[in-house]
Amino acid sequence: MRLVKTFIFTILLAASAFAQQNLHVGQAAPDFQAQSIDGKPVSLSQLQGKVVVLTFWSTKCQICHSEIPKLNQVVNRYKDKDVVFLALTMENEAKVNPYLQKNPFNYTILTNGFGVVLKYANMTKDGTINMGFPSYYLINKQGTIQLRAEGWDKSQDLDAQISKLLTE
């Protein structure tokens, strides 16, 4: 039990040390490296020159479940454009794969993303992670956050903002 408490304390301490306190529109998006569910490496810095839609989600999130079909429609509209859609979850492949078989999600799926969540989530003063699911970050071609949103039905706003960024 003592080992578990020590582990939890260490995680909370690391979270408070490494997390961004308040990411805002107009700030540079924190770089990260992750692996897609199909084993390919993904790095935000390697996506410069493209518009990036970064969505944080969970298989347990009912809002996420209802948003996925709408988000898939947005992905389809920008299929041959310079837009990359990344869906990051803290869950592992064993949890995500069965979910995706029943609920196709046309984004590039990034699993085991706790470290990336720490970079993007707001943190309270006591070190608690403060991020709703789903959370959306729209990042322009230069790597700057252009939109940050959480919750229900953001697909129309994402669509409009993506379109705007592609014409700039």
* Residue 68 φ/ψ region, left for φ over 0, alpha for ψ in the -120 to 50 degree band, beta for the rest: alpha
CA distance 25 to 57: 20
Q: Quick one: pLDDT at residue 15? A: 47
Domains annotated for the chain, with CATH where assigned, are 2-167 (3.40.30.10)
Q: Quick one: pLDDT at residue 154? A: 85
pLDDT per position as a tens digit, 24-75? 888 999 999 999 999 999 999 999 999 999 999 999 999 999 999 999 999 9
CA distance 116 to 32: 6
Q: Quick one: pLDDT at residue 147? A: 92
- Please give the angle made by the CA atoms of 122, 47 and 84, to the nearest 5 degrees: 80
Q: Within 10 A of 45 (CB to CB), how many other CB atoms are there?
A: 10
160 CB burial (10 A radius; 0-12, 13-18, 19+): exposed
> Beta strand 122-123 with 83-88: parallel, antiparallel or unpaired?
unpaired
pLDDT per position as a tens digit, 70-108? 999 999 999 999 999 999 999 999 999 999 999 999 999
Closest CA to 88 of 24, 29, 134: 134
Check residue 141 and report its DSSP letter: T
Check residue 17 and report its DSSP letter: H
Q: Quick one: pLDDT at residue 48? A: 93
CA distance 78 to 60: 27
Check residue 29 and report its DSSP letter: P
Position 155 confidence tier, pLDDT thresholds 50, 70, 90: confident
Query: Which residue is associated with the tokens 């071609």?
Result: 141
> Beta strand 135-139 with 145-150: parallel, antiparallel or unpaired?
antiparallel
Q: Quick one: pLDDT at residue 4? A: 45
Give the least confident one: 15-19, 41-45, 83-87, 134-138.
15-19
Q: Quick one: pLDDT at residue 165? A: 94
The model's pTM is 0.84
Mean pLDDT, range 118-129, rounded to an integer:
83
- Please report, for residues 63, 72, 73, 155, the alpha-carbon distance to residue 77 in angstroms, rounded to integers and kept in the order given: 22, 9, 6, 12
